[in-house]
Chains A and B, each alone.
Chain A
């Protein structure tokens, strides 16, 4: 078998369509595969132009886009186009075309290679549909999430007013002459309403952070120590039987949002008092040294499981096997958001020795 025979066989017996046009754009050769797609014989195609093989849209696309590209660039590649044969036979193909020029640079021929694209088109359509479906689902879910967060914000806001009435009444009652038993009951009402106000505050912060794209803070130059001592004093009042040890080394003013930093300490300290060992003191350690403000809160007792440590700063995170004792699991998420807004870091270390949360902020 000579090489010539091989090439002829290759040209004719192929799953690809081959086509050659002359320098005037008319078809000189085409193979049987192409003719089969067109529903005719190769001889029927001879003398036609490539655009004649296409449906109307393809014809115009070819003449206005592809032919100019071919003439200016010398080739085009991977173009999907629809052949339109006898009796409206349709076949989607991918086309490559290459100009061949003679030694003088004059156009000699254009070689076209066509590959059937039906499967690929199907594949592509499936991908497009899958993409569309996912996009729709995502949109629905985003809307649901947004609605839920808006609901939370509205609910939180509306709960505040009746709670305020309870708190004020409770505080007024506490100042009246009461029996010991009533004093205990009023104390319980006041502690509970304070805790509830805190929870509502957390919920609203959470909703605001999620809806508004992060926590908003108001920075000021502030002497932080009295603010933080006040937080400790308040919590000591609510946990009268517990020992809180403090170590403050902070004299210079710090650039931060004092209300938010106080909120962070309040969250960390309340957690330590709630979850830590009741027999041992909770340590609060605050220092401002070498441009770093550090606030640490440590407690003894059961360590936080490794699994929970990984997601402790995400909303609603809590021990799976331990029902909520006191909260929604938003406090640490909000503390972490406060840290983020201050370009600070909030970390957790917990082992059999102790559990400790540390806020570390660059503070000039």
Chain B
């Protein structure tokens, strides 16, 4: 299977410069739908689903590859090579920000800039470092993941009832969310929240913009400040937007910040 099919890659928009948008944990490429219209006239837009998410090829999921962020980073490089694209503007949400950073360190010529939306190099507090979660909390999270008492897939209604008779969930969006395989989602959560990639920040050579929300449970502002200090020449913008998904909750502010950085 081709990389482009495996990752459900879609290309749209005009222009010679390329923006590649990478969704974070729990979502798929639909999460960019309020952002892309603002760039379609001037840029070529590349969207995709990480393996295990959305309409990617679930059979391509392999635990040994995807329990490391490097596995996802290699996919990004493979996609850009398959598309013969270089010097792209990479926009990564949440965990995909670090995935993009890893890819940019491995293949710098492919990337013109990195735009990190609500990123975090490490979610766990460690000494002076504030990641947002204590060890106890992460342990509780891992336990919750193991006992699977959280949905993690969209088992919106309890498993026993099933969703088959819920026509309103048959929409494109809910469908794509439902396509999260619970076992994969659990592994991706584990991979994401146990990640500690603070040591790679200083190796990033691609110009970087960090977009942090002002009240984000998953990636607090302190994390953005830490990243700004450790990524050479990076810019930090703390937005008014709250929550973890400014691309959905405050698309206008997010678009403005990206355009400002690109101009």
Contact = CB atoms under 8 A, between A and B. Distances in A.
A200 to B, nearest CB: 47
Contacts of A127: 160
Given A56-B137, A124-B158, A127-B160, A63 B152 contact: no
Contacts of B249: 25, 67, 71
Interface string B135-176: 001101100110001111010111010000000000101100
Given A67-B243, A68-B26, A68-B245, A61 B151 contact: yes
Contacts of B152: 61, 65
B177 A69 contact: yes
B48 interface: no
B252 to A, nearest CB: 10
A326 B33 CA distance: 77
B192 to A, nearest CB: 9
B156 A77 contact: yes
A69 B243 CA distance: 13
A64 B26 contact: yes
A79 B151 CA distance: 8
Given A25-B242, A60-B189, A60-B193, A72 B137 contact: no
B44 interface: no
Interface string A56-82: 111111011101110111001111111
Contact of A76 (B133, B150, B156, B193): B156
B175 to A, nearest CB: 11
B150 A61 contact: yes
B218 A60 contact: yes
Nearest to A59: B217
Contacts of A81: 150
A72 B154 contact: no
A52 interface: yes
A29 interface: no
Contact of B24 (A59, A64, A82, A120): A64
A128 interface: yes
B25 interface: yes
Contacts, number: 98
A72 B216 CA distance: 19
Contacts of A77: 156-157
Contacts of B189: 60
Contacts of B242: 24-26, 49
B174 A69 contact: yes
A38 B133 CA distance: 21
B243 A79 contact: no
A26 B158 CA distance: 28
Most buried by A among B25, B94, B157, B158: B158
Most buried by B among A25, A56, A127: A56
Contact of A72 (B33, B94, B156, B217): B33
Main secondary structure of the interface of A (DSSP, over half): helix
A51 interface: yes
Most buried by B among A49, A71, A79: A71
Main secondary structure of the interface of B (DSSP, over half): loop
Interface size range on B against A: 35 or more
Nearest to A128: B160
Interface residues of A, number: 33
A169 B120 CA distance: 88
Contacts of A64: 24-27, 94, 218, 244
A214 B134 CA distance: 60
A80 B151 CA distance: 8
Contacts of B25: 64
A79 B174 CA distance: 13
A63 B150 contact: no
Contacts of B33: 72
Interface string B216-248: 111000000000000000000000001111001
A90 to B, nearest CB: 11
B140 A65 contact: no
A154 B244 CA distance: 65
B245 A63 contact: yes
A98 interface: no
B3 interface: no
Interface in A103-120: 120
A55 interface: yes
Contact of A63 (B137, B151, B243): B243
A328 to B, nearest CB: 43
Contacts of B248: 67-68, 71-72
A26 B249 CA distance: 13
Nearest to A120: B158
Contact of A49 (B141, B171, B217): B217
Contact of A56 (B133, B171, B174, B243): B133
Contacts of A55: 140, 144
A63 B154 contact: no
Interface string A39-61: 00000000001011001111111
Nearest to B171: A73
A61 B30 CA distance: 18
B31 interface: yes
A86 B25 CA distance: 29
Given A25-B242, A67-B244, A79-B151, A57 B156 contact: no
Interface of B: 24-27, 30-31, 33, 94, 133, 137-138, 140-141, 144-145, 149-152, 154, 156-158, 160, 171, 173-174, 177, 189, 193, 215-218, 242-245, 248-249
13 contacts: A25-B215, A26-B242, A55-B144, A56-B137, A56-B140, A56-B144, A60-B193, A61-B151, A64-B244, A65-B26, A68-B31, A69-B174, A77-B157
Nearest first, the 6 closest Cβ-Cβ pairs linking A and B are: A64-B26, A57-B144, A71-B248, A63-B244, A56-B137, A65-B26
